[in-house]
């Protein structure tokens, strides 16, 4: 996350200090942006950002993050495997302080909704230990950033800010009670608030 913030901060500082361009007829005609966000790729997520201008300085923006994975491991203590599924959406608004929608300095709030599932299994000799669970979060965030149409529709967007979210986790662990060897099932749950930095970086096409 720190690396993503650094990349966004450098890009944001570079484009924000550039002289504001005069809007050309071609730039004014661009109403929609669709692009990929590379920062979540490091967490195994496919991230798509979309933005649509609804006024000269106002736009609607949505971010979608989808990730799934399956892995297996082998060790002297036993074999294991896990599977995960994550989905999140980030609808929001952006107001362009300079330039026009999709090309200029902007500020904007957004909602954050996320849901995840996981399933783990660990085999030790003749014993199998399993755990599965789910988690979800709901929150809000606010970013300041810059969007720049580089050439012929190629667009770069970057922003940094803060967000707060309420998170809920619930998991179930299945195993054996020692020394009786009877199967057991234990449930865990937690609820908490969290505040942390937010960053976005997207590269795509405006049309």
27-49 tens-digit pLDDT: 456 899 999 988 765 666 789 99
**SS3 label, residue 23:** coil
Angstrom CA distances, 129 to 6, 24, 118, 188, stand at 41, 63, 14, 16
Does residue 126 carry a pLDDT above 90?
no
Measured in residues, the chain has a length of 207
Q: What is the mean pLDDT of the chain?
A: 83
Q: Return the number of other C-beta atoms located less than 10 Å from residue 46's C-beta.
A: 13
Domains of the chain by residue range: 2-206
Q: What is the pLDDT of residue 81?
A: 83
What's the number of CA atoms in the CB half-sphere (13 Å) around residue 193? 4
**Complete DSSP assignment for 98-135:** SSBTTBEEEEEEEEEEEEEEEEEEEEETTEEEEEEEEE
Calpha distance 113→91 (Å, rounded)? 9
Residue 130 near residue 118, CB atoms below 8 Å:
no
50-100 tens-digit pLDDT: 999 999 999 999 999 999 888 887 765 567 788 999 999 999 999 999 999
Q: What is the pTM of this model?
A: 0.75
Residue 77 near residue 124, CB atoms below 8 Å:
yes
What is the fold of 2-206?
Porin (2.40.160)
Angstrom CA distances, 4 to 19, 37, 80, 85, stand at 25, 11, 31, 22
Give the range with max mean pLDDT: 21-25, 34-38, 111-115: 111-115
């Amino acid at each position: 996350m720190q690396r993503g913030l650094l990349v966004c901060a450098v890009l944001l500082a570079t484009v924000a200090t550039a002289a504001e361009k005069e809007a050309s007829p071609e730039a004014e005609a661009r109403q929609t942006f669709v692009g990929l966000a590379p920062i979540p790729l490091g967490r195994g997520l496919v991230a798509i950002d979309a933005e649509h201008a609804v006024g000269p300085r106002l736009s609607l923006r949505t971010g979608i993050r989808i990730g799934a994975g399956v892995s297996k491991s082998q060790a002297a203590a036993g074999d294991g495997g896990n599977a995960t599924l994550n989905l999140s959406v980030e609808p929001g608004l952006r107001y362009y302080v300079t330039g026009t929608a999709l090309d200029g300095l902007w500020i904007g709030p957004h909602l954050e909704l996320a849901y995840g599932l996981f399933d783990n299994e660990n085999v030790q000799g003749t014993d199998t230990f399993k755990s599965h669970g789910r988690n979800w979060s709901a929150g809000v965030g606010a970013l300041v950033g810059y969007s720049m149409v580089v050439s012929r529709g190629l667009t770069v967007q970057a922003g940094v800010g803060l967000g707060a979210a309420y998170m809920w986790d619930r998991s179930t662990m299945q195993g054996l009670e020692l020394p009786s060897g009877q199967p057991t099932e234990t449930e865990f749950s937690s609820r908490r608030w969290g505040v942390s930095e937010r960053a976005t970086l997207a590269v795509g096409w405006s049309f």
